[in-house]
Amino acid sequence: MPLSLHEKGLYFAHALAELTGAQVAVYIEPTGVKAGGIRTATDQYQIRTALVNLLRNGNCGRAGLICLSYVPGELDKGMFQMNSVTGGLFWATATQIYKATVASFVWTAGVVAYSDDARPWVTSSETNRIVMANTWLRYNLMDGRPFHPPMVSTELSDMRGQLVREYAFPHSMVAVPDLTGPPSGYRPTPLVDAILMNLAYAIVRVSWAEGAIKRRSLDSETGRTVTRSDPYDVFSGHNIGSVLIDGNGKIFGWGLNTNSHGASLHGETMAVLTWQRTNSGPMPEGTRVYTTLKPCYMCAGTLVTAAPGCTVIYGQDDVNITNSALDRRVNNCTTEVRAHETTGHALLALQTEQDESTTGSLASDEASSLMGDALNEFFEIGVNIPPSRFESDLWGQAMDLLSAISPHAKILYRFYLKGLTAGTS
Ligand SMILES: [Zn+2]
């Protein structure tokens, strides 16, 4: 029995793993290998696994299959779940080949049969497996033509046969500035939750406004219509925002879904990536993640990997996401939905009313307006906290971050204060 496509893919992945000295993921269609990714994470907490790098930069369609040189972890599983490649995900141990598929967000994995030709490779030792894989690689059994091993590149490329070391990062993301704080006496109170949850929505709202302003100015310069995917697209994702705070009350990360830089760059992922640009190891102890929408499978896998023991607080529920790594409390991570929090409920009701997908609904003008309400609620909290409370310092820190993300935040705050004065006179 000749080798099937996934068996060839597994040979290929193991051969490349030996060539590169790193874990490898390859995307394969019947006509050949279309894309590859190698692990570039420098420790177990970093999120650049081979599969993540493959799916982030790879020329992956949906009809092919993915083969790994390693056993997938939570992050890989979540990543695959959100990028369902219909041919399935394959990996091999010393005695078995495994296949995972995703149908309606449900991950199923099981052992698959392998051909007699593959049997010695699978059942033999690791070394033998790699030798056989290299033999296959040299003769390129995929289509019989002379084979040139894919190059390893640090550049974003079209991925035709190339391995990309690391996925591209949107350069326009603002790093967390040097913020005041942390406030002394910090502990996670309901007021802390309210400040940071509204901050997450406020980030979405101001960056939305920021994007619109930049697009308008670009319009008037060039005289042409600028679409959402044009240069300032960091501000035109699916409108999900996230904030990270450590156990001492210092805000240390933020993220915004940047859809057009890659469907996998969600708010939570961006927050983690921004931090990991200059830090390694696990995220600080007591990390709390405030995010506007319940984390998807990929982001759940990302958070349990990067921040063991973290608490994730989200505003809006997502019925499509059940039994994620966070739901299963992997690495002692926990989640809380803010039942008292109004914006999340209103956004969910809006989605039901619109009968839209979650992300589609979040891109609507009505959603923008609801997040504008959350921005005002954020301002209102700031006005009303007695300065003696530590939450007042925390609010100041949050406002500094918001102003760093968008200079217009301060203008909007002045408008808000003016409105208050007008209302009372
Ligand atoms: Zn996500």
Question: How many angstroms is it from 375 CA to the middle of ligand 1?
Answer: 22
Question: How many angstroms is it from 344 CA to the middle of ligand 1?
Answer: 16
What count of other Cβ atoms lies within 10 Å of the Cβ of residue 411? 13
Question: How many angstroms is it from 257 CA to the middle of ligand 1?
Answer: 8
Question: How many angstroms is it from 255 CA to the middle of ligand 1?
Answer: 11
Contacts 24+ apart (CB under 8 A), 70-75: 70/17, 70/23, 70/24, 70/39, 72/100, 73/49, 73/301, 73/305, 74/300, 74/301, 74/304, 74/305, 74/325, 74/330, 75/47, 75/49, 75/51, 75/298, 75/301, 75/302, 75/304, 75/305
Question: How many angstroms is it from 267 CA to the middle of ligand 1?
Answer: 7
Question: How many angstroms is it from 302 CA to the middle of ligand 1?
Answer: 9
Angle at 260 between CA 257 and CA 261, to 5 degrees: 80
CA–CA separation, 46 and 273 (whole Å):
9
Question: How many angstroms is it from 259 CA to the middle of ligand 1?
Answer: 11
pTM (predicted TM-score): 0.85
Query: What are the φ and ψ backbone dihedral angles of 254, each rounded to 5 degrees?
Result: -150, 160
Question: How many angstroms is it from 268 CA to the middle of ligand 1?
Answer: 6
Token pair of 209, please? Answer: 């406004």
CA–CA separation, 372 and 75 (whole Å):
33
Question: How many angstroms is it from 171 CA to the middle of ligand 1?
Answer: 20
Three-state secondary structure call for residue 339: coil
Question: How many angstroms is it from 207 CA to the middle of ligand 1?
Answer: 18
Question: How many angstroms is it from 299 CA to the middle of ligand 1?
Answer: 4
In contact, 257 and 240? CB cutoff 8 Å: yes
Question: How many angstroms is it from 150 CA to the middle of ligand 1?
Answer: 30
Peptide bond into 182 cis (omega under 30): yes
- Predicted pLDDT at 263: 64
Question: How many angstroms is it from 297 CA to the middle of ligand 1?
Answer: 7
CA–CA separation, 314 and 307 (whole Å):
16
The structure tokens 């200059």 sit at: 278
How far from 52 is each of 57, 241, 356, CA to CA, in Å? 9, 21, 28
Q: Where are the extended beta strands (E) located within 104-164?
A: 106-112, 152-153, 163-164
Question: How many angstroms is it from 191 CA to the middle of ligand 1?
Answer: 26
Q: How far is CA 300 from the centre of its chain?
A: 9
- Predicted pLDDT at 326: 96
- DSSP annotation of 147 reads -
Amino acid in the structure at residue 270: M
The model's pLDDT over 140-187, given as tens digits with 9 standing for 90+, comes to 444 445 445 444 433 333 333 445 445 555 545 666 777 777 788 999
Task: Report the half-sphere exposure of 145 (CA within 13 A, side-chain side).
Answer: 6
Question: How many angstroms is it from 296 CA to the middle of ligand 1?
Answer: 4
Question: How many angstroms is it from 408 CA to the middle of ligand 1?
Answer: 27
Mean pLDDT split into 10-residue runs, the chain, 425 residues = 85 82 86 80 90 77 90 93 88 93 90 90 83 67 48 36 50 66 88 95 84 64 54 56 94 82 77 87 96 94 96 92 94 82 86 82 84 94 94 95 88 92 68
Question: How many angstroms is it from 141 CA to the middle of ligand 1?
Answer: 38
Question: How many angstroms is it from 13 CA to the middle of ligand 1?
Answer: 27
Question: How many angstroms is it from 293 CA to the middle of ligand 1?
Answer: 9
Amino acid in the structure at residue 82: M
CA–CA separation, 332 and 320 (whole Å):
23
Question: How many angstroms is it from 32 CA to the middle of ligand 1?
Answer: 30
CA–CA separation, 260 and 398 (whole Å):
27
- Predicted pLDDT at 230: 41
Question: How many angstroms is it from 80 CA to the middle of ligand 1?
Answer: 12
Radius of gyration in angstroms for the set of CA atoms belonging to the chain, rounded to a whole number: 24
- Predicted pLDDT at 262: 62
Question: How many angstroms is it from 30 CA to the middle of ligand 1?
Answer: 30
What count of other Cβ atoms lies within 10 Å of the Cβ of residue 223? 6
